[in-house]
Amino acid sequence: MSADSHTTAHTNRRSETGAGPDRDRIAVLAQIVEAPLFNATVAVLIVANAIVLGLETYPRLRAQAADALATADRALLAVFVVELVLRFASYGRRPLRFFASGWNVFDFAVIGASVLPGLHENVTLLRLLRLARIARLVRVMPELRLLVTSVARSVPGVAGVAVLTALTLYVYGMIGWILFGASDPERFGDIGKAALTLFILLSLENLPDLVADGMRATALAVPFYVSFVMVAAFLVLNLLIGVIIGSLEEARELEGTRQRAARSHAEGIAPPSPHGAGRESDGSARPELVEELAQARRALERIERRLGMAHRSAAP
C-alpha cells in the first residue's frame, strides 16, 4: 500500500505541474513571483509609474519632455506585462488557479485593458487605466492590503452604524425642533436644519454655545445636549471603532490564509479545495511525506509482529 500511495501521489503531482525539468522550472518561477524582493521591485515600479503620471500634469514639463514621459510609461507597462505573464506561468498546468485570487483578476483586467488596440484614442479611459495601475500597490504591500481588506470587511457594520446614527439624528432633531424651533430657527427651524446642527455637534464643535443658547429657551437644554453627546458622540463612535477593530481581525485571518496559500504555491503544493479536499490533498501531497508515512506503517507492523512473538513465547 505504501508503494502504491507513493506512486499515486507522485503521478498526480507530475500531472499538475509537469514532469522533470518543467516541474522544477515552474516551482522556481513560483518562488520568484512570491519572493519579497520581487514584490518590492514591483512596488518601486508602481511608485515610478505614479511619478510619471504625476509629472504629466505639469503643462510646461509635459511640453518639454513629452517623448521621455511617453517612453517611460510604455517601458513600465511592458514590465508590468512581463510580471503578469510570470505570475500566470507560475501556475503551470493549472492556469485557472491564477483567477482564484481577486488581486490576480484585478491585475489581469488593468494590465490587459492597457494593451488593447485602439485604447490610446480614448485619452480619458487611458488615463483612468494608468491611474488604476497605481492601485496595484495594494497587492504587493501586505500592510496596505490588510487595511484595504479591513475597510471592505467593515462596510456592512459601518452601514448599520450609519443607519443608527441617522435614526438618532432624526429623533433628536425632532425633539430639538420642538424645544428650540421657535427660539433658534436658524439651527432648529425645521428637521433638516436640526439634523444638520446635531450632525456638526457630533464633533463636539460649538457645544458650549448651543447649551448656553438652549438654556435661555428651556431648562431641558442641558439633559437634551448631554444625552445626545452620550448617545451619539460617544456610544455611536465606540460602536464604529468596535466594528473597524472586528473587521481588522477578520482581515488578519484572511491575510494569513492568503499568505499560506502563497507559500504553498511557491513550494509547488496545491492549496486545499473545499469541493474536493480529500481527493486534492492526496494528489498534492509531497512524495517524501507519503514515504515517511509508509515507513511508519511498516515500523508499526514490525512492532506488532514482535509483540505477537513475545506473547506466544511467554504463553505456557
CATH number for 126: 1.20.120.350
Residue 110 has pLDDT above 90, yes or no: no
Residue 47 included in any domain: yes
Q: Which of the listed residues 82, 115, 140 is the one where a domain comes to its end?
A: 140
Query: CA 23 to CA 15: how far, in whole Å?
Result: 10
Please indicate whether residue 280 or residue 260 has the higher confidence score (pLDDT).
260
Which of 102-106, 169-173, 181-185 bottoms out in mean pLDDT, i.e. has the lowest? Answer: 102-106
Residue 85 included in any domain: yes
| pLDDT, average across residues 275-291 | 50
| pLDDT for res 302 | 78
Q: Could you tell me the residue range of the domain that residue 49 belongs to?
A: 13-140
Residue 217 included in any domain: yes
Residue 273 included in any domain: no
- The verdict on 120 and 211 lying in the same domain is no
- The verdict on 126 and 214 lying in the same domain is no
| pLDDT for res 171 | 94
The domain tally of the chain equals 2
Residue 105 included in any domain: yes
| pLDDT for res 172 | 93
Residue 271 included in any domain: no
- The verdict on 160 and 127 lying in the same domain is no
Residue 212 included in any domain: yes
Residue 284 has pLDDT above 60, yes or no: no
Query: CA 87 to CA 243: how far, in whole Å?
Result: 35
Please indicate whether residue 204 or residue 72 has the higher confidence score (pLDDT).
72
| pLDDT for res 222 | 92
Please indicate whether residue 234 or residue 285 has the higher confidence score (pLDDT).
234
| pLDDT for res 252 | 78
Q: Which residues contact 81 (CB under 8 A, 6 or more apart)?
A: 111, 115
- The verdict on 19 and 122 lying in the same domain is yes
- The verdict on 47 and 83 lying in the same domain is yes
Confidence of residue 11 (pLDDT cuts 50, 70, 90): very low
Query: Long-range contacts: 212-220, Cβ < 8 Å, 24+?
Result: 213/180, 213/183, 213/184, 214/179, 214/180, 214/184, 216/183, 217/179, 217/180, 217/182, 217/183, 217/184, 218/179, 218/180, 220/179
Could you report the per-residue pLDDT of 191-234, keeping only the tens digit for each? 999 999 999 998 888 888 899 989 988 889 999 999 999 888 78
> Mean pLDDT score of the chain, rounded to an integer?
78
- The verdict on 122 and 161 lying in the same domain is no
Q: Which residues contact 8 (CB under 8 A, 6 or more apart)?
A: 282, 283
Residue 206 is part of a domain; what is its CATH number? Answer: 1.10.287.70
- The verdict on 52 and 132 lying in the same domain is yes
Could you report the per-residue pLDDT of 19-35, keeping only the tens digit for each? 456 677 787 888 888 88
Residue 282 has pLDDT above 80, yes or no: no
